[in-house]
Structure 1
């Protein structure tokens, strides 16, 4: 049976997922467990993490909390081979709509949150890479907003553009540490955050239809589909991949289909 200590391509490996209490993070933690990893979830509210994961309550905006949380996770897991930087927050509006305080908060969570977790995790990842070459990775949850101009997403897009640039810089910096660094760029995903956004829309059904229609597949991607890409990049099977942004966007970035009808 797969799971902690079981068989699978992550058997014997430790993984930590930030923001793993819901949505894409929870789906990623569940898949890592199914593939044999020992998994810890670091989240402000980790109660929604899948059964079998070590639950660590911490906020990625709190440096001391992150350091303590990662230390506690590694103590439980025994080693850390895969870090998934998934914790994030959203924002809606043009540059006129979000004030400086909101800009500071979103950048603090989406960008500096990754910096804090990587900074705390790197000593553990280096140690694991020395003992198990080819098995160590950092994978960030980025967004199609980093590479495509989306309406009403100025702040969010700026934060995810920074995540993409950070991913490439880190991939270069940690080549000789034996640590691969990649990111996944979801399109619009059917997650709790999007559900809350739809609830606030004047016509939720029309807004959902619009979000579905803007992706060539004709629907939003699922948390499980994004998780599958994250886990692929984190897997030892992807040992030749670093500095890559993998889009899971229903074709939104690259396809320009002709209208039907």
Structure 2
């Protein structure tokens, strides 16, 4: 069946509108095209399948304009508007994140200033104590002799002092062993394994001194507060892990040397 000239002329505007509809669907998708035209998806599918416009779809397309190029421009503008809205939301979220970071950096700066102030106060106290020590030797008696004294019984000294047993009480044996292990570790003439084993034992004893006896270790000259004690205990525990790793390496290296030298080398 063929169409005469009048029917063809009548269908030309509809074909233009159908082409405009297809371009809109290609650019925006069925869902968005249906929303823009004010119809449901089933209606669009029926129009495309039959190749004929319903009155409602025709009116919507005519309101949009039958010019395909104009329809494409409008579609691009719609996409651009949606992207602009998304970009605005991203910019707002970024601004909020920047503001949150600014507040967090402000809090960190305050904490850093407090920590720095605490260290400065500790340094000033140590310097003042050292200045006093230089001006008047500790333990100076009437006979001109000197006698080691402990200004703070909670602070462990590197060298033995008179009355260690009284000063440190139950912790005195631990303090004595800690000093011995420290000297062994510092002995450059000792074997690597012995030095590593002494370091492990030294850190184990430090944990006991800090945690169980609440003592302060050198080079600190004044007793630690509770917060500082917790921090130092954490540091010692980490150091103990590293020391045990060093001991394991030293033992492994010793076994390798023994195997290579048939037991003649034990360094």
TM-score, with structure 1 as normaliser: 0.24
Q: Identify the structure with the greater strand proportion.
A: 1
Q: 1 or 2, which has the higher helix percentage?
A: 2
For the pair shown, the structure with the greater C-alpha radius of gyration is 2
Greater RCO (Cα-Cα under 8 Å, separation 6 or more): 1
